[in-house]
């Protein structure tokens, strides 16, 4: 198979091509279709391999794959925000955080593709999925770890996939986005205890009075141009959207299978309810009571 590369163009070359075409799109290409070379659309559309004969399974599979892509995209943006925060570029970090919040809006919208599914619809192909479960999504686990929802136990399903397991270990052992935010607050002059900054980041962060006090002060100022206030609002939007995704996940499970056990061995809806009790960026929320 011949590998093609995207050939760069400029305003002048694009204008020349449009003039030569009389304003119509180009219809002949000598070296592969540029769109497919860039997007790999043919490859993407070859990945929908259903295992049942029920036509509804295609929606379930494709929505799951769309969510996987959004997990990856959101994680990419969060890592970029972390990089900028570590350089104390708080203003710069706002852009990837806002993009991440919009990515999660797209993630939430994907649930609409399954609104048609009743328990009878799901049951037509559910048994053939075996023990396949979204709980086993490595990219979702990266996203949770980046947001600060951490548990080393959740690595266990991946131990037979060495590269996946190693990548998840690396994410777990590195500071979360919230850890980097707290470190940023310390460098900005807020009184953050040293033991909090040096804590074991593989363990899930619990709300701390010093971090809460910092956000209370930031939100009480609420002045134009306050970069930390803007950071807080960007993080709030992100956490809020992620909370919406978890709530919609629970609703989708309730709509399609009620209180049945999950495919991956969990208690299904009840497991999701317990998971939702874990709060992303806890002091961003608790500070609001004190402002």
**Structure token digits, residue 147:** 């947001």
Percentages helix, strand, coil for the chain (3-state, rounded to 5) are: 65, 0, 35
* Residue 95 to residues 83, 88, 168, Cα–Cα distance (Å): 12, 14, 25
CB 131 within 8 A of CB 263: yes
Q: 281: which DSSP letter? A: S
Give the span between the Cα atoms of 77 and 263, in whole angstroms: 31
Identify the residue whose tokens are 């609420």. Answer: 222
Give the span between the Cα atoms of 33 and 27, in whole angstroms: 10
Q: 247: which DSSP letter? A: H
For 207-245, letters b (16+ CB in 10 Å) and e give: ebeebbbbbbebbeeeeeeebbbbbbbbbbbbbebbeeb
* 288 among annotated binding-site residues: no
* 249 among annotated binding-site residues: yes
Annotation: binding site: 126, 249
Known binding site for substrate: residues? 126
Annotated binding site for heme: 249
């Amino acid at each position: 198979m011949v590998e093609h590369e995207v050939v760069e163009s400029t305003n002048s070359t694009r204008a020349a091509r449009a003039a030569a075409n009389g304003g119509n799109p180009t219809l002949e290409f000598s070296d592969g279709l540029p769109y497919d070379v860039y997007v790999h659309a043919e490859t993407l559309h070859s990945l929908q391999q259903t295992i049942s004969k029920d036509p509804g399974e295609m929606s379930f599979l494709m929505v799951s794959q769309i969510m996987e892509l959004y997990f990856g995209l959101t994680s990419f943006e969060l890592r970029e925000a972390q990089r900028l925060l570590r350089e104390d570029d708080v203003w710069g970090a706002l852009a990837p955080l806002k993009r991440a919040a919009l990515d999660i809006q797209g993630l939430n919208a994907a649930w609409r593709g399954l609104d048609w599914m009743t328990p009878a619809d799901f049951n037509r192909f559910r048994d053939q999925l075996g023990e396949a479960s979204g709980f086993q999504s490595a990219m979702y686990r990266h996203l949770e770890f980046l947001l600060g929802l951490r548990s080393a136990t959740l690595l266990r399903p991946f131990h037979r996939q060495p590269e996946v397991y190693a990548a998840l270990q690396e994410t777990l052992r590195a500071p979360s986005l919230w850890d980097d935010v707290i470190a940023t607050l310390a460098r900005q002059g807020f009184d953050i205890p040293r033991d909090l900054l040096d804590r074991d980041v593989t363990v899930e962060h619990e709300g701390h009075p010093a971090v809460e006090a910092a956000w209370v002060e930031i939100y009480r100022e609420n002045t134009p141009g306050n970069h930390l206030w803007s950071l807080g609002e960007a993080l709030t939007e992100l956490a809020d959207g992620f909370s919406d995704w978890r709530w919609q996940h629970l609703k989708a499970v309730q709509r399609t299978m009620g209180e049945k056990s999950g495919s991956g061995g969990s208690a299904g809806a009840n497991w999701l309810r317990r998971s939702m009790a874990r709060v992303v960026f806890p002091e961003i929320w608790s500070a609001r009571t004190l402002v």
